[in-house]
A and B are shown apart, each in its own frame.
Chain A
Amino acid sequence: MRETLAERYARRVVLTLLVLFTLTPIYAMVSSAAKPLRDVQNSFTWLPSRPTLQPFVDIWRTVPLGRYLVNSLVVSSLAALVSVAVAIFAAFAVSRYRFRGRTTFSVAVLSTQMFPGILFLLPLFLIYVNIGNATGVQLYASRTGLIITYLTFSLPFSIWMLVGYFDSIPRGLDEAAQMDGAGPMRTLFSVILPTAVPGIVAVAVYAFMTAWGEVLFASVMTDESSRTLAIGLRGYATQYQVYWNQVMAASLVVSVPVVAGFLFLQRYFVAGLTAGAVK
């Protein structure tokens, strides 16, 4: 099958435009992060007048970025960890057992994904505040509350992807383990989990990204001490001016780890999507 000349040029033109569309903001972020403040206060320039790494030093002083970063790291890591653990057990049940309510469970869990977040934001806010008042367990404005909330956001899709991975593991392996006298938990931990490591890592990264990027609940459920990056980055805009070079530097710093993780694992995401979608 050969491509005509027109097709080849059309392909190049379209792909070039898409590359420009995709890259322009990324370029603006990276180049502006290396500009002195003067550059970002005047008309936009493609290159810094004097490239500097000063914004990367200043970002830690202008706002308590370190604290926000630690908060985001703690919240996202724990949310991802618990989400993956819970998803592993649920996916194991759905993949390896036939039981009453199996389909209902799968559909119900996925359908929570379609609810507008705003719908349960207000009640959850009230519930967390009142649990705090009644029992002294601080969920509102605490990292614990955020962890619990965020892990349920990634849970449905994590279960869905893991069911896909587990389904692709031959049942012969389970059987062999059973012959050797392994119970279901032994089978899960010594047969299925080791085989599904890439899938589990991909799901963990997905859960981490979900928590790392959440804005709506972070805007209501945090105070100054539990604030995450999603809200903390706003601190670079003071009443008088916005330190755009620092905003871009901070954005770059908080983006690099998740983007690297995602792109590094991209083929496992594609595999997970395909595995889930063919069912």
Chain B
Amino acid sequence: MYVEMKNIYKQYGDFRASDNVSFGIEKGKLVALLGPSGSGKTTLLRMIAGLETPNAGDIFIDGKRVNDIPASKRGIGFVFQSYALFRYMTVYDNVAFGLELQKVPKAEIKERVMKLLEITGLSGMEKRYPNQLSGGQRQRVAFARALAPNPQVLLLDEPFAAIDAKVRSELRLWLRSMVTQLGITSIFVTHDQDEAVEVADEIIITNHGKIEQMGTPSQIYKSPDTPFVAQFIGRPSEVHNYDTLNGFDKIEGADKAVIRPEFVKISKFGKLDRYMSAAETGIVEDVVFRGNRLDVTIDVHGIKITGEWSLEKDSLEIGEKVNLLIYRIYVMDDTKAYLCENKEMQEDDVFYI
């Protein structure tokens, strides 16, 4: 493990920001700390950087315990959420600042800064001030500045939060390819699951100062360990008496379930060609236009389930009767989430084989 946190506790007054947090990150990986605001993800990042000190626990970078090493000696590049560019310095001076502090010879500084500006696509902007740049350009200056002193670890605090939607998706891809190209171990904080899934090799999900789950995006997506992850990832509908749904049985002690839109298939009433016995009947309660699709909320004898409806198909009207096939759901008790497949469909499978 290249970056490792062991049994970290951090308390601010009555608020516990980190509660026995342990995780390890392999060298060269791009990892996302994902969680709702106030879940302690930024605190973790700041503790790795040395901007905050844990109340208990150990932090290791490259096998060395860094708790007592000052922030500036940990070999960390940090990209702040607000970028924190030095507003009274030019782009060049911003990027050169860290190198000047390390007493690197002038010519070498110039070479390195120019190279960084080139790979970040900022060539020709070295004489500008931060307030003369667009949001995306500022972000890239912050990135170049963090990389200038050749850090071992790059930490990014909500790096895309202040950028408009279109530029943001470009920058995500750019960041991903840049980090892979440089091979630098990177950790970024985000509250946006799409961002985490799209950019990260691995995701660490935090909630109430604890780690809920760590894994690759597809692991997190396919097999959520905890009720929180099941509810947080995707855009699930929460269901209470799931055992009244066709094909699902009650699991003892677990009385809640979540259903993701991609787990249900909506058909016009009577148009479902297979698995009729496994399907439910419901009434369209709400239709929301999402640009490339419709989000349709369906009332199945009191249970509200949201699914997607392609714009290619005949549109659905509110009040219309539809068939609904639920492939699978996540059933949750207080501590675990279980995947349940629709058993009527599986029986059909057997029949067809």
| B is bound to A | no
Partner-A contacts on B (CB < 8 A): none
Partner-B contacts on A (CB < 8 A): none
